[in-house]
Structure 1
Amino acid sequence: MSKFKEPAEQLLTHIGGSENISVVTHCVTRMRFVLKDSAKANVEEIEKIKLVKGTFTQAGQFQVIIGNEVSSFYNEFVKMAGVSDTSKDEAKEAAKQNMNFIQRAISHLADIFTPLIPALVVGGLILGFRNVIGDIKLVDDGTRTIVESSQFWAGVHAFLWLIGEAIFHFLPVGITWAVARKMGASQILGIVLGITLVSPQLLNAYGVAGAEEIPHWDFGFAKVQMIGYQAQVIPAILAGLVFSYLEKQLRKVIPNSISMIVVPFLSLVPTVLLAHTLLGPIGWQIGAWVSDVVYSGLTSAFGWLFAAVFGFIYAPLVITGLHHMTNAIDLQLMSELGGTNLWPMIALSNIAQGSAVLAMIYINRKNEEEKQVSIPATISCYLGVTEPAMFGINLKYGFPFLAAMCGSLLAAVVSVGNGVMANSIGVGGLPGILSIQAQHMGTFALAMLVAFTVPIILTILFHRMNFGKIKFGKKRTV
């Protein structure tokens, strides 16, 4: 008999049976359910199941943490439950039935930026590496950079910009593609639309401020400025949304016999015109306003307060899914300022959550079963993936989560108070230092030390102050 048979039966029973399951899928460590009636799920009994590491509800989905064996467990479960396999996209669409307007808007924003994250992470690492070899004087007694002392590294420095430029300067291409993909429009036309925003024939967005004269298209009765939108986020989102809406509406009214010819033309050409006359300028101003507000808030006399609040609440934002909004803000800050002072706080929050779990490993060092969850969770947290730590350990006990939030708060104040800037979004956790601008790496290392030590100290202190109750056995709490 499969070792998953009994826990699968228990999960099916306590989740309300097959008739209560609308959609079920899985990710790397979790079962994801869209339930017809979430009240029928007996969370207390589900968390008593041996293989279950924890549960939570997010984005309209009831999620059960299984661990690395989730794929095998999932296969056993769907066979027993008699429910059909489905895709993550289908599960997300079904889950939106359980969301309010704000949750749906955030979910849509996440769906746009999530496919772009691997490229942004790579870009952040590349920019960070280029800064280390090109900006920090590390050789000849601190008088020259590595690039200045070696032709090989000078070549590497120049070559890597090919990738960095492709990711960040041509970011609108990725955004318009992601929007078209999300909205169900033609993805290749989404890519073409993005290229029209960053075409080499346009004046580069970074050169607009210093340009003596801006080129234009002259239509006789009107002139349209030939300005590019390199690295701009909001203009690309607006253009992608308008194009996708036009294409989908046109396909409803234009006969199939001519739709292949007519629809692409009537959806793409008007959108490009709108993008350069209305959507682009408006989006640019909105983006500039957002970045100015955030940057001004973080660099003002009360910047430490903003940092403290953000550092403290970021982990709870992850639980609600609201953290996805920070991607757009980070990218906007990067396009306007050449870096972001928001993202470093996110990396520090990841470290803090991992340190709280590390303290729990020490506190529960005799609990061999819990180590199967806590040790991998700590490692993944330090590498930027916080969910196993947060939902598997910290939220289960409560006080480690609070300790991590406090550590994140203090580390954020250190970071923002010293003007730390990141080149871009990057790998969270400990590797996050590679995305920090070279001149701020030392200060960020100090903030990392705070995020590492404070949660450990506070978690152990809270434990000794008896913030929780001790329960012996498999699901022991403190």
Structure 2
Amino acid sequence: MAKNRKIAEQLIESVGGKENINSVSHCATRLRIMVHDKEKINQEKAEEIDKVKGAYYNSGQYQVIFGTGTVNQIYEEFSNLGISGSSKSKQAGETTKKGNWFQRAIRTFGDVFVPIIPVLVATGLFMGLQGLIMQESVLELFGLTEDSIPDNFLIFSEVLTDTAFAFLPVLIAWSAFRVFGGSPVIGIVLGLMLVNPALPNAWDVAEGAADPLVFFGFIEVSGYQASVLPAFIAGFIGAKLEKGLRKRIPDALDLIITPFLTLLIMIFLALFLIGPLFNTVEEAVMSAVIFLLDLPFGISGLVIGFFHQIIVITGVHHIFNFLEVQLLQQFGENPFNAIITASTAAQGAAALAVGLKTKAAKLKALALPSSFSAFLGVTEPAIFGVNLRYVRPFIMGLIGGAVGAAFASMVGLAGTGMAITVIPGTLLYLDGQILLYIATNLISIGVAFALTWMFGFSDKMKDEIDQR
């Protein structure tokens, strides 16, 4: 459309022209522009462009917030204007040297885990629906009890709810090979080897229903159905190994020898070294997380609920993907989701208060849609476009998120999945927790809105900040 073409042209000009753009990609809400020289970016000009809800430079990328749907259209116009596109994995490679080692490591975690989140979201929804259907009051509507449900239906529901987690190492190994430059199909096969039925099932071993295999008299080996880190590390090393072999093996033999040696070496390392070592590391990390979540009086929610959106600003919030996947793997529920939901809803409420209180037409037009976006689970427009710009609304949102999250922790609220929050997140709490979930969101929204309205924003404060 002509309007989107004009927006794309204005944005290109504001970042220094086509010659200053290396590549461009996008995620669900943001256009990610790799620039050669960030000093050529005109921040003020970029933020004044129609439909832009905020912009910031982070981790080697200039990230412009448009929101869901719109970002796809603007990206298409960039392509039509001859700007080179780039996959997120390629941009990840381009930004490898940007930021400190911790930021780079977390970005890498995000690059591996983000592509598999949609299937985990779907699985969480299946689990929520299963929990809803299996409630005694719902079964009574159909004249059924738990004992009268056909076995075939139970098997069908298990296929829906268990498959993604049973084969999670396959998904992780595939994604790791893809991110680190290996052949994804080799990653798939390596992941399948880690959960091969010939190995004792990890869950059976944990329950004492099966014994692990013992190799070399001291190495215990079982399947890795419940593990994340071993598959991630195996995928990383496997991709690097494959790339190294391809450089050394003659082209005539590459098709046969490279996958053969990669899989042979990697399954040996994965079962006998990587698996046992990083499974221990994984258990230690999860023990620490569980200790934090089990703190009394809602302390865990108070702390995490306050700091989560600060972590979102730094761009290292993808570390929570690993933790949430592990919680779902081990316990079938995810208390992090309830905490994150509270922090997300609170930022939306703070932006809503700004939008309703201000008399500035442009700010109102920005704040109200941004708040709705947050209530759909995407906080970047509200944070970068409104709350963080005026500081106090952001702080009030942090407080509201902390209070709501503390309540969620005290009542033991936990979702059946991950990655969706606030309004869409209701689907993860259909198993009898929906009223507590609604209460959590209302507390967060109420506290953040009230504080922002009373102490966090005024047009006088806006004018003072805008004139600086």
The residue that corresponds to 1:450 in the other structure is 443
The TM-score, its normalising length taken from structure 2, stands at 0.88
What SS class does the counterpart of residue 96 from structure 1 fall into? coil
Are residue 414 (structure 1) and residue 411 (structure 2) matched? no
1:141-183 Cα distance to aligned partner (Å, 9 max, x none): 9xx996538747x765542220211111211110111111111
> 1:191 offset after TM fit, Å?
0.8
The residue that corresponds to 1:44 in the other structure is 44
The residue that corresponds to 1:267 in the other structure is 262
**Rounded Cα–Cα distance in structure 2 between residues aligned with 1:432 and 1:255:** 52
**Rounded Cα–Cα distance in structure 1 between residues aligned with 2:375 and 2:436:** 19
Is contact 2:31-2:64 (8 Å) kept?
Answer: yes
**Rounded Cα–Cα distance in structure 2 between residues aligned with 1:174 and 1:395:** 36
The TM-score, its normalising length taken from structure 1, stands at 0.86
What SS class does the counterpart of residue 202 from structure 1 fall into? coil
The residue that corresponds to 1:344 in the other structure is 338
What SS class does the counterpart of residue 459 from structure 1 fall into? helix
Is contact 1:361-1:375 (8 Å) kept?
Answer: yes
What SS class does the counterpart of residue 95 from structure 2 fall into? helix
**Rounded Cα–Cα distance in structure 2 between residues aligned with 1:6 and 1:432:** 35
What SS class does the counterpart of residue 305 from structure 2 fall into? helix
Aligned pairs for 1:59-458 within 5 A? 59-66=59-66, 69-70=70-71, 73=74, 83-135=83-135, 137-138=137-138, 148=146, 151=149, 156-211=153-208, 214=211, 216=213, 225-301=220-296, 304-364=298-358, 367-436=360-429, 438=431, 440-458=433-451
What SS class does the counterpart of residue 208 from structure 1 fall into? helix
Is contact 1:351-1:430 (8 Å) kept?
Answer: no
1:92-130 Cα distance to aligned partner (Å, 9 max, x none): 333334333222111111010001110110111111111
Instruction: Give the 3 Å change call, closer, same or farther, for CA 60–203 of structure 1 in structure 2.
Output: same
Is contact 2:355-2:366 (8 Å) kept?
Answer: no
More RCO (CA 8 Å, sep 6+): 2
**Rounded Cα–Cα distance in structure 2 between residues aligned with 1:85 and 1:432:** 32
Instruction: Give the aligned residue type for 2:453.
Output: I
Is contact 1:54-1:396 (8 Å) kept?
Answer: no
Is contact 2:88-2:111 (8 Å) kept?
Answer: no
1:212-248 Cα distance to aligned partner (Å, 9 max, x none): 6525377xx6586451111311121122122222212
> 1:450 offset after TM fit, Å?
0.8
What SS class does the counterpart of residue 214 from structure 1 fall into? coil
What SS class does the counterpart of residue 98 from structure 1 fall into? coil
1:395-435 Cα distance to aligned partner (Å, 9 max, x none): 23332222221111001111112222233314212232332
Instruction: Give the 3 Å change call, closer, same or farther, for CA 264–346 of structure 1 in structure 2.
Output: same
Is contact 1:133-1:145 (8 Å) kept?
Answer: no
**Percent of pairs identical after alignment?**
35
**Rounded Cα–Cα distance in structure 2 between residues aligned with 1:117 and 1:289:** 24
Instruction: Give the 3 Å change call, closer, same or farther, for CA 49–165 of structure 1 in structure 2.
Output: closer
Instruction: Give the aligned residue type for 2:389.
Output: K
> 1:85 offset after TM fit, Å?
4.2
**Rounded Cα–Cα distance in structure 2 between residues aligned with 1:431 and 1:71:** 21
> 1:135 offset after TM fit, Å?
4.3
**Rounded Cα–Cα distance in structure 2 between residues aligned with 1:453 and 1:297:** 26
Is contact 1:180-1:190 (8 Å) kept?
Answer: yes
**Rounded Cα–Cα distance in structure 1 between residues aligned with 2:28 and 2:435:** 35
Are residue 469 (structure 1) and residue 466 (structure 2) matched? no
**Rounded Cα–Cα distance in structure 1 between residues aligned with 2:259 and 2:58:** 37
Is contact 1:32-1:62 (8 Å) kept?
Answer: yes
Instruction: Give the 3 Å change call, closer, same or farther, for CA 272–147 of structure 1 in structure 2.
Output: farther
